[in-house]
Amino acid sequence: MDRNLALELVRVTEAAALASSKFMGKGDKNGADGAAVEAMRRAFESVNISGEVVIGEGELDEAPMLYIGEKVGKSASDSIEVDIAVDPLDGTTLIAKGLPNVISVIAIGSKGSLLNAPDTYMKKIVVGPGAKGAIDLNKTAEENIIAVSKALGKKTNQMTIAVQDRERHNYIIDAARKLGTRIQMFGDGDVATAIATCFDETGIDMMMGIGGGPEGVITAAAIKCMGGDMQAQIYPLSEQEVNRCYELGFTDEELEKVLTIDDLAKGDNLFFAATGITEGDLLSGVKHIGGNRAKTQSVVMRAKTGTIRFVDAIHSLDKNDILVDLMKKYSIE
């Protein structure tokens, strides 16, 4: 895939971020999600790919979707065929409340490179490059914290692990407190937090917990681009989710399997792009600066080269046809 595709992807996540930012703190998560989805769908029309969405918005959500199987891109005679994993708005509840760490994300890989994960829960451990090879989902939370601390050359009481604020994660919190490990709790949207494990300045050494399966595949693509490590297991928490897995062709054996990062995102022909919507640990949020202009900050990565680029941009909103149309549709300024 052409390396110039990286900047094309940033334009797509920027469009979704700018459109949804107008809803920040307004209590309308479906409106924000709808604007992000529509902006991303339209922005894809200018990208020279023949793409198929293999990870889209979960069908269990009551929200608009870039659905699994949807075709996006120019789809011209010279367009490369790719798998696409998208989350136009990672953190719908967070943006409705005006909370941090909301991002728009895309992962793209060669055909067949991204796992078609069901829209159920997934158990995950994510670490940065310094702890690559140290994690094992078959071991306890305590054992994994100790193994990562040794790999990083830290004492367990010098580490910080990110854990989603959910009762189902009490076993992780108990293990961390036993070892004196610092815990950074977060709300919805675990992609941004997972990515933060690969950047020293965030202070996050690892992320553990049970979150969305589709988001797990997107995370794996990003982590692979940055040389980190991840293990996961499809982890349905209800009979409805178990049946959903069966409907998609997953067997009991596959549901029990521990997935490596290479199972989730194969090869190195992978790109990842994200744009901040609200302020986060890694990316600044959209800032409306007057004169109908806005600033965005994005990150784009390529697995083949390991290159990570941060992209700062200033947008004239009244010259962006996608945004002008969406603002009229949603009657917002």
Q: Does 281 show up as a binding residue in the annotation?
A: no
Rounded (10°) angle between helices 321-329 and 5-21: 30
The Cα 91–Cα 327 span in angstroms is 21
Q: Does 73 show up as a binding residue in the annotation?
A: no
Chain centroid to Cα 108, Å, comes to 12
Q: Does 33 show up as a binding residue in the annotation?
A: yes
Q: Does 167 show up as a binding residue in the annotation?
A: yes
The Cα 166–Cα 146 span in angstroms is 23
Q: Does 166 show up as a binding residue in the annotation?
A: yes
Q: How many residues does the chain have?
A: 333
Rounded (10°) angle between helices 5-21 and 29-44: 150
The Cα 317–Cα 296 span in angstroms is 12
| Contact indicator for 56, 129 with CB cutoff of 8 Å | no
Q: Does 318 show up as a binding residue in the annotation?
A: no
Q: Does 165 show up as a binding residue in the annotation?
A: no
Q: Does 121 show up as a binding residue in the annotation?
A: yes
Name the token pair of 126: 């994510």
Q: Does 83 show up as a binding residue in the annotation?
A: no
Q: Does 70 show up as a binding residue in the annotation?
A: no
Name the token pair of 71: 């075709």
Least Cα distance to 148 among 87, 88, 206, 219 occurs for 206
Q: Does 276 show up as a binding residue in the annotation?
A: no
Chain centroid to Cα 18, Å, comes to 17
Q: Does 187 show up as a binding residue in the annotation?
A: no
The Cα 26–Cα 52 span in angstroms is 32
Name the token pair of 287: 């800032």
Q: Does 212 show up as a binding residue in the annotation?
A: yes
Q: Which residues are annotated as a binding site for substrate?
A: 90-92, 121, 166-168, 188-190, 212
Residue ranges at the known binding site: 33, 57, 87, 90-92, 121, 166-168, 188-190, 212, 215
Residue ranges at the known binding site for Mn(2+)? 33, 57, 87, 90, 215
